[in-house]
């Protein structure tokens, strides 16, 4: 370092007189069962974060040291708390297994830190209406009836019915409310796949949305008030399993509630991608990959893959239904967050920061040469749509289900029904 640079550099000053030795104990008490006392201050968390050097106030090591040192005021006012996408990429690298995403979520929800954007508004509406998109019950049923009519014509089966509120089905299928409000054509594709697989499923009648923005705000009372009624619907309908739609946020919300807060009957919680993977492997669904010949890659949503361990179902399905699958690197547990995690999409003023973070993902995709990007998460899909426009890439962004539906070889029994 030159003498000139050294003389002009201003070191960060830590005022020891402002440190509160009780703050560390308070954090430990409020973040119950989260052990962060083993931190070695080694900096591997910061090295593992893809965005620690992209913009300011995004260094996990610095934030954790503020907790350890009792820097109450500095910690509670640190922009890091909301800049962090809670993706847990730092946790993968931590030699002591300190889960930074869980710590950040807990700090958000347990210390009265103001929630930015419209997150609280959506949470309150969800509690009131029963779904994130504030869809009235009659509109929900009208949408289902419309999909039913469309599929009767498309499948050539005038007797086709969408199962809603069916008692005793093998599984209840949990939705993302956008699949009713905005993307009903995608729900139609999902139900078409279920038809060809002869799936024994039901949609919820009273509660059907598995998403939960309180996953990001960290307010556990709100989180449970939103998530519990869906589980109660599953119990009421007597299903054996809960299968969650193609959405990392919805899957993580369901798993977190089940593991930490649910005290009722036990259910396997399964991603629909795992179901697709099994159906393809056991021959329930026959597929023709030549129907998706374009270069394709797949994104690993943090909530689905790193946090919940669904490491291979998305890529197994993609490999089965496409002829030119190209892997992004790094992937699986080491994937990069798309930049919209942790509730950033609910904070409109964060878009410039989201687009800065998006560059890493853009570079990953460009390196594959893929023209189609499969994105098994609604939150991530919104981010990819924005980055596609921002960086003028021209990718085809899609969930996996439409590609699967396109690749399905119609079974003989369905062909006969069509001919009749």
Residue 44's pLDDT is 86
Residues for the chain: how many in total?
A: 420
| pLDDT tops 90 at residue 92 | no
Residue 70's pLDDT is 86
Domain ranges of the chain: 14-110, 120-280, 285-407
Q: Among 33-37, 321-325, 362-366, whose mean pLDDT is lowest?
A: 33-37
Residue 50 pLDDT class (50, 70, 90 cuts):
confident
| pLDDT tops 70 at residue 14 | no
With beta carbons less than 8 A apart as the criterion, state whether 177 and 132 touch.
yes
Residues 341-367 have a mean pLDDT of 90
Residue 100's pLDDT is 85
DSSP state of 333: G
Residue 15's pLDDT is 65
DSSP state of 388: H
Sheet containing 372-374: order of strands: 296-298, 372-374, 396-398
Residue 199 pLDDT class (50, 70, 90 cuts):
very high
| pLDDT tops 60 at residue 10 | no
130-159 burial code (b ≥16 CB/10 A, e <16)? bbbbebeeeebeebbeebeebbeeebeeee
- Fold type of domain 14-110: Fumarate Reductase Iron-sulfur Protein; Chain B, domain 2 (1.10.1060)
Encode pLDDT of 122-142 as tens digits.
999 999 999 999 999 999 999
DSSP state of 116: P
Residue 17's pLDDT is 67
Q: Among 7-21, 136-150, 238-252, whose mean pLDDT is lowest?
A: 7-21
Residue 13 pLDDT class (50, 70, 90 cuts):
low
Residue 177's pLDDT is 94
Residue 324's pLDDT is 97
Residue 403's pLDDT is 97
Query: Residue 175 is encoded by which pair of tokens?
Result: 């939705």
| pLDDT tops 90 at residue 164 | yes
How many angstroms separate the Cα of 224 from the Cα of each of 99, 135, 227, 232, 239? 21, 20, 5, 12, 21
DSSP state of 209: B
How high is the mean pLDDT of the chain? 90
Residue 420's pLDDT is 44
Residue 2 pLDDT class (50, 70, 90 cuts):
very low
How many angstroms separate the Cα of 399 from the Cα of each of 108, 204, 314, 338? 31, 22, 10, 15
Query: Residue 264 is encoded by which pair of tokens?
Result: 């009722």
Residue 3 pLDDT class (50, 70, 90 cuts):
very low
Residue 400 pLDDT class (50, 70, 90 cuts):
very high
Q: Among 150-159, 254-263, 342-351, whose mean pLDDT is lowest?
A: 342-351
| pLDDT tops 70 at residue 214 | yes
Encode pLDDT of 290-333 as tens digits.
999 999 999 999 999 999 999 999 999 999 999 999 999 999 99
Closest CA to 180 of 153, 203, 197: 203
Query: Residue 6 is encoded by which pair of tokens?
Result: 């050294």
Place of tokens 């869809």: 135
- Other beta carbons within 10 angstroms of residue 204's beta carbon come to 25
Residue 6's pLDDT is 41
Residue 417's pLDDT is 47
Residue 384's pLDDT is 94
Q: Among 33-42, 210-219, 360-369, whose mean pLDDT is lowest?
A: 33-42
Residues 16-43 have a mean pLDDT of 80
Q: What is the DSSP string of 43-111?
A: SHHHHH-TTTTTSSS--HHHHHHHHHTT-HHHHHT-THHHH-----HHHHH-TT---HHHHHHHHHHHT
Residue 112 pLDDT class (50, 70, 90 cuts):
confident
Encode pLDDT of 243-292 as tens digits.
999 999 999 999 999 999 999 999 999 999 999 999 999 999 999 999 99
Residue 418's pLDDT is 42
Residues 392-405 have a mean pLDDT of 96
Q: Which of 12-21, 26-35, 36-45, 265-274 has the highest mean pLDDT?
A: 265-274
């Amino acid at each position: 370092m030159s003498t000139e640079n050294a003389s002009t550099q201003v070191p960060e000053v830590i005022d020891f007189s402002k440190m509160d030795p009780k703050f560390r104990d308070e954090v430990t008490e409020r973040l119950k069962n989260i052990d962060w006392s083993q931190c070695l201050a080694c900096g591997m968390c910061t090295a593992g974060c893809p965005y620690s050097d992209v913009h300011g106030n995004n260094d996990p090591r610095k934030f954790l040291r503020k907790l350890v040192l009792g820097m109450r005021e500095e910690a509670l006012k640190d922009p890091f708390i909301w800049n962090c996408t809670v993706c847990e990429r730092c946790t993968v690298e931590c030699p002591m297994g300190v889960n930074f995403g869980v710590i950040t979520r807990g700090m958000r929800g347990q210390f009265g830190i103001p929630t930015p954007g419209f997150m609280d508004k959506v949470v309150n509406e969800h509690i009131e209406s029963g779904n994130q998109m504030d869809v009235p019950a009659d509109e929900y049923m009208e949408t289902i009836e419309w999909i039913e009519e469309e599929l009767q014509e498309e499948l050539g089966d005038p007797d086709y019915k969408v199962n809603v509120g069916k008692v005793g089905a093998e599984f209840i299928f949990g939705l993302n409310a956008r699949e009713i409000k905005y993307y009903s054509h995608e729900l139609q594709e999902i139900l078409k796949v279920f038809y060809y697989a002869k799936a024994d499923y039901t949609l919820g009648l009273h509660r059907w949305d598995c998403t939960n923005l309180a996953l990001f705000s960290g307010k556990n009372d709100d989180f449970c008030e939103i998530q519990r009624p869906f589980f109660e619907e599953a119990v009421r309908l007597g299903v054996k399993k809960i299968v969650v739609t193609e959405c990392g946020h919805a899957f993580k919300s369901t798993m977190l509630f089940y593991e930490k807060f649910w005290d009722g009957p036990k259910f396997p919680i399964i991603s629909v991608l795992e179901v697709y993977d099994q159906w393809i492997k056991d021959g329930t669904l026959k597929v023709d990959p030549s129907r998706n010949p374009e270069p394709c890659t797949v994104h690993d949503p943090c909530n689905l893959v790193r946090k919940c361990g669904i490491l291979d179902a998305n890529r197994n399905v993609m490999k089965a239904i496409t002829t030119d699958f190209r892997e992004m690197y790094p992937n699986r547990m080491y994937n990069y967050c798309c930049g919209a995690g942790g509730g950033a999409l609910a904070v409109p003023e964060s878009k410039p920061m989201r687009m800065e973070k998006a560059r890493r993902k853009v570079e990953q995709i460009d390196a594959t040469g893929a023209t189609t990007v499969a994105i098994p998460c609604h939150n991530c899909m919104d981010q990819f749509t924005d980055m596609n426009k921002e960086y003028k890439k021209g990718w085809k962004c899609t969930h996996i289900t439409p590609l699967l539906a396109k690749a399905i070889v119609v079974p003989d029994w369905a062909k006969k029904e069509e001919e009749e």
